[in-house]
A and B are shown apart, each in its own frame.
Chain A
Amino acid sequence: MDRGWWWKFGMIVAVTLGTLWFLVPTYYSLVVLDRNERNNIAVLEQRLPAWAPPAKYRLNLGLDLQGGIHMVMRVDTKTALQKRTERRGQQIATYVNDKKLGEVTADTDPERLQLTLTAKDPATMDAIQKEVLATFTDFSLESRNGGTLVLKPDEGQVNRFRDEAVDQAMLVIRRRIDKWGVAEVDVRKLGTDSIQISLPGRSNPEQAKELVGTTAQLEFRMVDDTNPQVFAQMYQQNPPPAESKITLVEDEGFPQLSSPNREALLAYAKDKTPEGRDVVTECVANPVKKNDCIAYRSYLLDKNVPLTGESLSGADASVSQMNEPEVNIAFDPAGAREFEKLTEAAVGRRMAIVLDDNVHTAPRINEKIGGGRARITMGRAGARSFEEWLGEAQTLALVLKAGALPAPVTVGEIRQVGATLGDELIKKGSLAALVGLALVVVFMAIYYRKSGLIADVALLLNGLLILAGLAFFNATLTLPGIAGFVLTLGIAVDANVLINERIREELSHGKSARAAVDQGYDRAFWTIFDAHVTTLIAGFILFFTGTGPVRGFATTLIVGLLASLFTSIVVTRVITTYFVHGRNAQSVSV
């Protein structure tokens, strides 16, 4: 055996061992762990032996196989855009009237999102047109007909607004689901206006729809600072049970209760809350994974809600002259009056901004704020980088807008699979795959004898490689994925058939065993390569254009084809070469 062969052989052994090693977390999560702990990555991490790969490299089961809810929510950006256009129209009309350019009324065409300005006196329209187009650059002129001006919102602005609306909705949905306490939720953007949500193990689609689909509730509520020690006293007089993991922490001089378990924290505080007050929690975000809460902290808020998001007319993040990130908020006229009254009475107190029962931030009111405009300064950068603070400000602005500008979300798609059905499907699916595999393995061994057995070894390695590959990409195995698995095994077999038929052909032409094997492999190589690449093309296009189950199928197909290229061309050849060259055989068993 020459050096090159030993290198290849070593590589195959390494790949096989690596494959088995990579499947350890998958084996633990699907076989060793209890079914209800299957998705709990922390438990998996604990149970895994020290030498195993990290728990995140494991094969997930799709919702169709383990039960759960898959939802696609469509953000109704159209309604949001209508509202925005309407609001801008009103601003333009006010602007024109304030500037004494004339008197106009604004109308919105809800279908085409156009703004029509009608002047009382058509003669003033020239001046109005010029001024409006120069000032409100997010609109361009669509048509002009005497005293009416039709304006069209700028495409780029509309797209940005649409993106923002989807981001807001995602943020809100994420927070709400966190509140529900579902582990392993997956919330991601789908296309331009949809959000995809996976809730493993959940079974009530109506409840999920309600949770996710209602509009965000934004409130401005006063923090009760009359007794700053309230939580400290609560903690000392009534020590919380150990399993609730409640601890006392201090934030800017205020003692707070903190726990990674929101329900436990609220349950503990519930009957100890003073009359007329509410305990509301704040999420302490995971510094690495922004959307995760690592702990919840308690705030004592006044029960009454003086102001809600409905009074807001806008919010933006910016950087102040002191180079500090800040959030500027604006109220509508009624809200502005209410806000002035509120801040006048509460100078020095903190005001909590609460979104969906989560305290987002609680800035201190430094002075009475009139005029309907307020500024929330984010403070100096301190230990955190400026970018982090700015990011925080932008998130807050989004939160405020989410309450101010409702972009309603509606259900695009809900798929729910019960846990028992999921179990049944995985049983039947894997049985189907195993039966298919067994039939092929037996057939190959009978038909090609020793070469068939070599192909079988390659086939089994191929199967393991697919699973390990899926685990590596953290992919999800779905029902169509199992079908893809079976199909790829079929294609892998085809490659071996091609090679073996070629070898037989060469042998029938009277070639020696060695020459037949070498030529068989060389000739079949490009055929196999072309056949795999063309199927791979289909797989990739499927992956990039498909969604959900189709995508799962495509992932399996792609990983499977790559594995098949390796096993059929490299693995079988190395083994066959050993038997033919190494043993110096005069015949080859095909």
Chain B
Amino acid sequence: MQILKHKTNIDFISKRKPALFISTLINLAIIVGIAAVGFNFGVDFAGGTVVELKYNTPTTAEQVREKAQAGGLHDVSVQGVGAAEENSFLLRMGGVTQLTEENAERAKTAIQGLGETRNVYADMANGIVNFRSTQPMSPEAVKKAVEGAGIGVQEVRDLGANQGGTGYDYQVVASGMADKVFAALGAGLDKPNFEQRRVDYVGPQVGKQLRNRGIMALLYSMVAILIYVAFRFDFKFGPGALLAMVHDVIMVAGYYLVSRREFNLTSIAALLTIVGYSVNDTIVIYDRIREDMVKYKGKALPEIINIAVNDTLGRTILTSGVTALSLIGLLIFGVGEIFDFAMAMLVGILVGTYSSVYIASPLVIWLDERAHAREGHSGAKQEPKTA
């Protein structure tokens, strides 16, 4: 069997300018979109709490939302997971602990009502209120007072007398949001009528750390791949491979931007896989270009590239097709993150194939022309233009 019955002879290179123009336009639009609208960051990066519940009885997202609001949870988003008869819901909240700006103020007032206190300050990131009291206090009393103000307390830590002898230090640790969710949804029931399937808390600092590490991983791998390509091939191949990579990553980022699917650690994995795939595809075509440059010494570079791209076209289509085929299972049976991953990969495979032909290869011509032009300026003899 054969996909392309006859040897193709498509003139890819002559269409490079409109292709580059359109690609650049889309890329810029995505970058502007990311800057203006931003991703739909998952808890991995944004921080916060996600709770997945499965109800034993038929329930709608609307009912869950009403119940949550009745229980005092106002900034919760409720979303159904899977088929309607599964009765599974994803609840998302911004905070990790019950300490919000507003709650912290109430906690402070409650603590100050207990006696002479100083240095009352809230560590919002960790959900802790620190304070120093002139008299020793009973942690139970502190806990009761703060809970009286409507904030769940996990623990009151007695840090002991301060060394200067000026007081006693305490920390009030607020409970997690998941606690509040279960309390709100289970209110008025002997036994909750739902099963807690998944709970994710990610603190805001950790989220920021994870995000930075993800971005750094992306940059590092691009640089490493650039070095490898420049070393294995020629310098003029490097930038093309890099640009194609950047192009593909932006396109897949565009998928996450437009689809509003959650951008999380798995998305970073998807972007990185695309980097690998994109360069994989580019290398195969570069290899052929290099081989043909030796084979057809007299021909101009654009012509050689056309021959190389056409010769490898069968394999390019086939490889993309087969890799896409291996993703079909994930697309059909994958849920949540895995589905998103497969979808992003599919987008990546398509743009990766396109970019190896239309982005990576033309850039080699451009760099080659520039190299010749420079030689022409510095050298005495003018080389014939290759384009």
Contact = CB atoms under 8 A, between A and B. Distances in A.
Nearest to B206: A412
A107 B229 CA distance: 57
Given A406-B157, A414-B199, A447-B1, A557 B322 contact: no
A411 B199 CA distance: 13
Interface residues of B, number: 88
Contacts of B314: 501
Contacts of B157: 214-215, 406, 408
Contacts of A498: 284, 315, 319
B269 A480 contact: yes
Contacts of A127: none
B302 to A, nearest CB: 22
Contact of A439 (B203, B225, B329): B329
Interface stretch (A39-47, A162-170, A317-325, A539-547): A539-547
B61 interface: no
Interface string A532-576: 111101110110011111100110010000000000000000000
B337 A479 contact: yes
Nearest to B164: A90
Interface string A424-452: 01001101111111011001101111000
B208 to A, nearest CB: 11
Interface in B104-153: 126-128, 130
Most buried by A among B221, B224, B332: B221
Contacts of B2: 504
B323 A431 contact: no
A400 to B, nearest CB: 15
Contact of A209 (B158, B176, B195, B214): B176
A72 B201 CA distance: 10
A86 interface: yes
B52 interface: yes
Nearest to B171: A408
A407 B256 CA distance: 40
Nearest to B160: A310
A55 interface: no
B272 interface: yes
Contacts of B154: 209-210, 213
B326 A487 contact: yes
A11 interface: no
Most buried by A among B232, B291, B341: B341
A538 B329 contact: no
A165 B31 CA distance: 43
Interface in A499-543: 501, 504-505, 523, 526-527, 530-535, 537-539, 541-542
Contacts of A453: none
Nearest to A481: B269
Contacts of B323: 487, 490-491, 493-494
Contact of B272 (A72, A76, A523, A538): A538
A428 B287 contact: no
Contacts of B370: none
Given A206-B178, A545-B216, A432 B197 contact: no
B273 interface: yes
B197 A421 contact: yes
Contacts of A410: 126-128, 173, 203
B197 A480 contact: no
B199 A537 contact: no
B360 interface: no
A535 B277 contact: yes
Given A411-B203, A414-B200, A539 B276 contact: yes
A480 B214 CA distance: 15
B380 interface: no
B357 interface: no
A91 to B, nearest CB: 8
A486 interface: yes
Contacts of A431: 329, 333
Contacts of B163: 83, 86-87, 89-90
B32 interface: no
B15 to A, nearest CB: 24
14 contacts: A86-B162, A206-B178, A411-B203, A416-B199, A436-B325, A436-B328, A480-B269, A486-B330, A535-B276, A541-B217, A546-B214, A547-B213, A550-B265, A557-B276
Instruction: Across the A-B interface, give the 9 residue pairs with the lowest CB-CB distance, nearest first.
Output: A435-B329, A490-B323, A535-B276, A436-B329, A545-B217, A432-B329, A538-B276, A436-B326, A412-B206
Interface of B: 1-2, 52, 54, 96, 126-128, 130, 154-155, 157-164, 171, 173, 175-176, 178-179, 195-203, 205-206, 209-210, 213-214, 216-217, 220-221, 224-225, 228-229, 232, 265-266, 268-269, 272-273, 275-277, 279-280, 283-284, 287-288, 291, 311-312, 314-315, 318-319, 322-323, 325-330, 332-335, 337-338, 341-342, 345
Interface of A: 72, 74, 76, 79, 83, 86-87, 89-90, 106, 191, 194, 203, 205-206, 209-210, 213-215, 310, 332, 406, 408, 410-418, 420-421, 425, 428-429, 431-437, 439-440, 443-444, 446-449, 479-480, 482-484, 486-487, 489-491, 493-494, 497-498, 501, 504-505, 523, 526-527, 530-535, 537-539, 541-542, 545-550, 553-554, 557
